[in-house]
Amino acid sequence: MKTKKLKIAQIGVGYWGPNLLRNLVSNSRCKLELVVDISESRRKYVSSLYPEIKVSDDENEIFLNSNIDAVVISTPVKTHFNLAMKALDSNKHILVEKPMSTKINEIEKIEIVSKKRKLTAMSGHTFLFNSAVNYIKKIIDSEDLGKIRYIYSQRLNLGRIRSDVDALWNFAPHDLSIINYWLGNIKPKKINRSGMAYVQEGIEDVSFLNLTYPNDVLVNIHVSWLDPHKIRKMTVVGSKKMIVYDDLGKHKVAIYDKGIDRMAVLGENMDFDKNELYNFNYRSGNVIFPKINWQEPLKKEVNHFIDCILEKKKCISDIEHTKSVISILEKA
């Protein structure tokens, strides 16, 4: 029996769009019917690479075409909500580049329509399909790290400066998506943000986001596009072991058998209100660099989108996960 090919259209071929375009074209389970971009130069770019694909400057050609099953949206953030709603209203599944919206009430409206029409509404949280991130999730769930004490992340760069969103909305959705995934999508109890706009008025170039999750798990997210170093690193400190995820490093994952154990010692004590003293055992064991079977996360993301539509699989980066990320950023 011949497997159905999903007919997909893409809106937006700017900074991230070409990566989506490449993966859609190379996927044998779908056919890219139409690409829309308001820029003539971007349309020419698509035609030069894939002359067989129709291009247009009018997104309504997608919404009025009943043969198109799904829409991939990779346009500026401020356009995401309206385009997503138009796609859903024309009975099409959607994959929207992160963030799906900067307003939780807009995400909820997308949720209502997508559920009513039984359509997949997926956010492009690509790191949920990253093999290293998936590996760390298994380690955390196995409790091999012990009790999670704190997590901190650094997503830093010199440029690329944007004008449609600030550094927090540009970078932090990645880190929050990963952390919420690792911690099981639990909600933080406290949210505190500090940042500063140095280059453009009203658009913060650097931000520090501090979160407190249940079970006394502390999280710090540092984002900046004014830093001398390009860094994409996350550290998870547990009571037994620690783990570092370095997206730009030679070893994506490093597990450190390090920690401090508190041991009670009975004996004489000058503090007569207590009957215990404590010794502290400093552990410094092996560092393990596990082998990670690598596959391009965006390729896996596109495949998952198709699975959700054709095979009715539960979406990993669905509306619930999207709300867990956007609600934190909106409150911050």
pLDDT (tens, 9 = 90+) of the chain, 332 residues, equals 456 799 999 999 998 999 999 999 999 999 999 999 999 999 999 999 999 999 999 999 999 999 999 999 999 999 999 999 999 999 999 999 999 999 999 999 999 999 999 999 999 999 999 999 999 999 999 999 999 999 999 999 998 888 888 999 999 999 999 999 999 988 999 999 999 999 999 999 999 999 999 999 999 999 999 999 999 999 999 999 999 999 999 999 999 998 777 766 655 554 545 545 667 777 778 899 999 998 999 999 999 999 999 999 999 999 999 999 999 999 98
How far, CA to CA in Å, does 42 sit from each of 36, 60, 72, 101, 228? 9, 18, 16, 24, 31
Structural domains of the chain, ranges and CATH numbers in brackets:
6-126+297-317 (3.40.50.720), 128-288 (3.30.360.10)
Beta strands in the chain (DSSP E): 6-11, 30-36, 54-56, 70-73, 93-97, 121-124, 148-158, 190-196, 206-213, 217-224, 226-238, 242-246, 253-266, 276-288
How far is the C-alpha of 167 from the C-alpha of 148, rounded, in Å?
A: 27
Q: In what order do the strands lie in the sheet with 253-266?
A: 190-196, 206-213, 217-224, 148-158, 226-238, 242-246, 253-266, 276-288
Structure-block tokens of residue 264: 């009670």
- pLDDT per position as a tens digit, 207-227: 999 999 999 999 999 999 999
Instruction: Single out the residue of 38, 49, 48, 47 nearest to residue 14, CA to CA.
Output: 38
Whole-prediction pTM value? 0.89
Instruction: Single out the residue of 331, 304, 299 nearest to residue 317, CA to CA.
Output: 304
Taking CA 145 as the corner, what is the angle to CA 140 and CA 151, rounded to the nearest 5 degrees?
A: 70
Q: What is the pLDDT of residue 266?
A: 54
Q: What is the pLDDT of residue 18?
A: 96
Task: List CB contacts of 202: < 8 A, sequence separation 6 or more.
Answer: none
Report the number of secondary-structure helices (H) and strands (E) in the chain. Answer: 9, 14
